[in-house]
Amino acid sequence: MPSTHTTRPVVPIAVLVSGRGSNLEAILEAIDKKYITNGAAKVVISNRPDAPALDIARKHNVPAKILDDHGLPKKSWEYDQRTIRLLQEHGVKSQDGLILLSGYFRILTPEFVGLYERRILNIHPALLPAFPGLNAQKQALDHGAKVTGCTVHFVDKGVDTGPIILQTPVPVRDDDTVETLSQRILREEHRLYPEAVRLFTDGMLTVKERRVLLVE
Ligand code: GRF
pLDDT of the residue at 3:
46
For ligand 1, atom 12, name the residue with the nearest CA.
21
User: At a CB cut-off of 8 Å and minimum separation 6, what does 83 contact?
Assistant: 16, 45, 67, 112
Domain ranges of the chain: 11-214
Residue 3 CA to ligand 1 centre (angstroms): 43
Question: Three-state DSSP class for 112?
Answer: helix
Residue-wise pLDDT tens for the chain (216 aa)? 454 455 789 999 999 999 999 999 999 999 999 999 999 999 999 999 999 999 999 999 999 999 999 999 999 999 999 999 999 999 999 999 999 999 999 999 999 999 999 999 999 999 999 999 999 999 999 999 999 999 999 999 999 999 999 999 999 999 999 999 999 999 999 999 999 999 999 999 999 999 999 997
Atom of ligand 1 nearest to the CA of 122: 10
Residue whose CA is closest, atom 6 of ligand 1? 103
Distance from the CA of 192 to the center of ligand 1, in angstroms?
12
pLDDT of 216 reads 75
Q: Give pLDDT, residue 2.
A: 52
Question: Which residues belong to the active site?
Answer: 124
Backbone angles phi, psi at 140, to 5 degrees: -65, -45
Rounded-to-integer distance, Cα 152 and Cα 188, Å? 11
Closest ligand 1 atom to residue 150 Cα is 4
What is the CB neighbour count within 10 angstroms for residue 86? 16
Cβ 123 under 6 angstroms from ligand 1: yes
Judge contact between 169 and 147, C-beta under 8 A.
yes
Residues written for the chain = 216
Answer yes or no: pTM beyond 0.75: yes
| Alpha-carbon 53 to chain mean position | 13
Give, using CA atoms, the residue closest to atom 1 of ligand 1. 103
- Write the single-letter amino acid at 53: A
Coil/strand/helix, residue 53: helix
Handedness of CA 83, 46, 55, 133 (dihedral sign): negative
**Short-list 20, 54, 56, 50, CA closest to 183:** 20
Amino acid 128 reads: L
Report the amino acid identity of residue 100.
Answer: L
Q: Which residues contact 70 (CB under 8 A, 6 or more apart)?
A: none
Let me know: does 15 contact 47? Beta carbons within 8 Å.
no
- Contact 102 CB / ligand 1 (< 6 Å): yes
Asked whether 20 lines ligand 1 (CB < 6 A), one says yes
CATH code assigned to 11-214: 3.40.50.170
Tell me the CA distances in angstroms from 167 to 40, 61, 101, 115, 192, one per residue in order: 24, 30, 16, 26, 7
Neighbours of 134 (CB within 10 A): 9
